[in-house]
Structure 1
Amino acid sequence: MNKKKYNETTFMGLLKINGVSFFLNYTLLYSLLLFLFIHMLITNFNICSFEDYKLISEDIFSKISSISSSIFGIVIAALAVSMSVFNQKIVGLLENNKLLHKFLFPFWFLVLCWGVLILISSLMPIINEKIIVSHQIIFDVITGFTVWLFIYALFFSINITGLLIRLFIQNSKVS
């Protein structure tokens, strides 16, 4: 396998094939809108104090960690099932046209999103207790990013489900 072919199979190589437009979609828009709505509710209505917010966030991070871990496994299983069901006659053709790259990259990106969520939400209670105790801005930024990424990954998972359905329908037409 030559170096160029190998580089096309790395995360960055697949990102180059898919392009930046891969990220500019309704999933990004809807996740940002929902996050901003949640943020406005919390900040404008002073639902709780910073101390209460920190206590509530520990429970939220625990739930996000559990949910993210479960969905992480489901995404990997979905990828395995979709590849085993895929018509082997057209896989080579898809690979030659880089359509296989475009099909596989969203799974890799989604697993990355869920993995980052698992890491942040698992470490945040420890970091919060030891480091961020008095730094509300740092806490707000990390919590905000985590909530937004969770919403984004959830919407992106729904998007991937639609992709799988379309591909299975197309696959059945070839068989």
Structure 2
Amino acid sequence: MANEIIEQAQDKMAKANDALRKELSEIRAGVANPSILRNVNVDYYGAETPLNQIASISVPEARVLLITPFDKSALKDIEQALFAADLGLTPANDGSVIRLVIPALTEESRKDLAKEVKGIAEKSKVAVRSARRDAMDASKRALKDGDLSEDEAHQLEDDIQKATDAATKQVDEIAADKEKELLTI
């Protein structure tokens, strides 16, 4: 019983950290990263299709994304989808590929993005603490129902707290890495 509770808590905490990594990967840091196009869908023959399924996305230079459609007739649709996605980037269509040039970030925009990273990290910490609360409640229920002894319950609560501390530390490390990436010129 105790193992199930701690495993569920650790799983929820790991998912919170994975969600944090995913969300932070979508923040532009002044360098080209194909993940900023993850949510772009193209109207391809009447069906909403993710961009990465109808085109290859590469990074030929540090601040350039190169989008090469598998079907050249989809070039206009891709360009329209990029405008509609409101990424703050202007696509350059040369007839066979689309280039997205990522502008360098100003110091002010870097600081704003760093604040956004802190806010996103705090949401992740809330999710970790929520997983901790759920695990603690499950531990108390198991103790009340007689599934755990007093000693097992106290040990489980200690293990839950250790898992929470580790997950929170990992959130801080992930956020610090992203802030460092944003603030280095």
User: When you count helix as a share of all residues, which structure comes out higher?
Assistant: 1
> Comparing both chains, which one has the higher relative contact order based on Cα–Cα distances under 8 Å and sequence gaps of 6 or more?
1
Q: Flag whether TM exceeds 0.5 (same fold).
A: no
Q: Tell which structure's C-alpha radius of gyration is larger.
A: 2
Decide which structure has greater strand share: 2
State the TM-score, normalized to the length of structure 1. 0.35
- TM-score (norm. length: structure 2): 0.33
